[in-house]
């Protein structure tokens, strides 16, 4: 495993494991335990995924010491605001059966995210959260937060993959010592990406799969990648990226296929923001 060092000195694995849409409790528990046994040390969940309890059980089932793991969860938009965020953090800790989180992120830049940030800063100072950050923040969202934050975010988790490389945002984050963390690092597994002839050519050269080449590209771009799978063989192969290195020419080939087109929602879309704020979940 490679690690990056966040601005506050905390070390974060360069490759993590996401659990979005793994809602079956037993499957989620088994999948998390499998991922950890295969070498993953960063597990990324969220309150709205409704699987924090199962993730906690998977952590216990793995048999790996807590201090070897990096556990991330996220604040949902209906829990924004100072007091509601404190309650949400305590709920996440209880469901995960943990005394602290390695990282806690705001899931979307909506609602009272400034009030939420103040609560997150308090938990950071108390040591109950080792690092705090955001998800799906545009450059303008980042600027607004940085104007008022006393503890600066260390991560912005966003959609990022070879056909949507977030080059402008990436440059802004680098200037501010904030790491980009890529969700959907394989572009939802769309076939025109995973079967792209240039990726296949590089993969054949190293005896690898195209997905492994893409994940290696993320890491060499100094982005944290969090692929997700519930298939044991895929979980294992996605982690197997540490025995080869892409040349600068190969990196440039991948950089050249960027279309700057999202496959998911635009955080700046006001209709999307409205739909997120109106969504109600019965329980987490």
Reduce the DSSP state of residue 123 to 3 states and report it: helix
Dist. CA 267–CA 181, nearest whole Å: 16
What confidence score (pLDDT) does residue 189 get?
74
CATH architecture type of domain 3-278? Alpha-Beta Barrel (3.20)
Dist. CA 263–CA 184, nearest whole Å: 9
Q: Are 106 and 117 in contact (CB under 8 A)?
A: yes
- Domain residues of the chain, as ranges? 3-278
Categorize the per-residue pLDDT at 284 as very low, low, confident or very high, splitting at 50, 70 and 90. Answer: low
Catalytic: 172? Answer: no
Q: Which one from 40, 49, 124, 179 is the annotated catalytic residue?
A: 49
**Does residue 221 surpass a pLDDT of 70?**
yes
pLDDT 10s digits, 178-203: 999 999 999 987 767 889 999 999 99
Q: Are 99 and 71 in contact (CB under 8 A)?
A: no
**Does residue 229 surpass a pLDDT of 70?**
yes
Q: Are 89 and 60 in contact (CB under 8 A)?
A: no
Dist. CA 87–CA 105, nearest whole Å: 15
* Helix, strand, coil abundance in the chain, percent, nearest 5: 45, 15, 35
Categorize the per-residue pLDDT at 279 as very low, low, confident or very high, splitting at 50, 70 and 90. Answer: confident
What confidence score (pLDDT) does residue 283 get?
58
């Amino acid at each position: 495993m490679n690690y990056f060092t966040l601005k506050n000195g905390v070390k974060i694995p360069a490759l993590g494991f996401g659990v979005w849409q793994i809602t079956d409790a037993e499957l989620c528990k088994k999948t998390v335990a499998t991922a950890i046994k295969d070498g993953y040390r960063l597990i990324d969940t969220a309150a709205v995924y409704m699987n924090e309890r199962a993730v906690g059980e998977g952590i216990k089932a793995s048999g790996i010491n807590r201090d070897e793991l990096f556990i991330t969860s996220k604040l949902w938009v209906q829990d924004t605001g100072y007091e509601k965020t404190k309650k949400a953090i305590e709920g996440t800790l209880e469901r995960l059966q943990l005394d602290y989180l390695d990282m806690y992120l705001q899931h979307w830049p909506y609602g009272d995210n400034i009030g939420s940030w103040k609560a997150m800063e308090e938990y950071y100072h108390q040591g109950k959260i080792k690092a705090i950050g955001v998800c799906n923040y545009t450059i303008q969202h980042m600027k607004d937060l940085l104007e008022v934050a006393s503890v600066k975010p260390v991560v912005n988790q966003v959609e990022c993959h070879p056909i949507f490389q977030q080059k402008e945002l990436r440059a802004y984050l680098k200037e501010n010592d904030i790491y980009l963390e890529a969700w959907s690092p394989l572009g939802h597994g769309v076939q025109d990406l995973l079967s792209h002839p240039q990726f296949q050519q590089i993969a054949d050269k190293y005896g690898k799969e195209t997905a492994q080449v893409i994940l290696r590209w993320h890491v060499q771009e100094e982005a944290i990648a969090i692929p997700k799978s519930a298939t044991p063989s895929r979980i294992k192969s996605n982690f197997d990226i540490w025995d080869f290195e892409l040349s600068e020419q190969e990196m440039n080939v991948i950089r050249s296929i960027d279309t700057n087109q999202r496959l998911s929602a635009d955080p700046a879309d006001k209709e999307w923001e409205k739909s997120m704020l109106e969504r109600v979940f019965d329980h987490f």
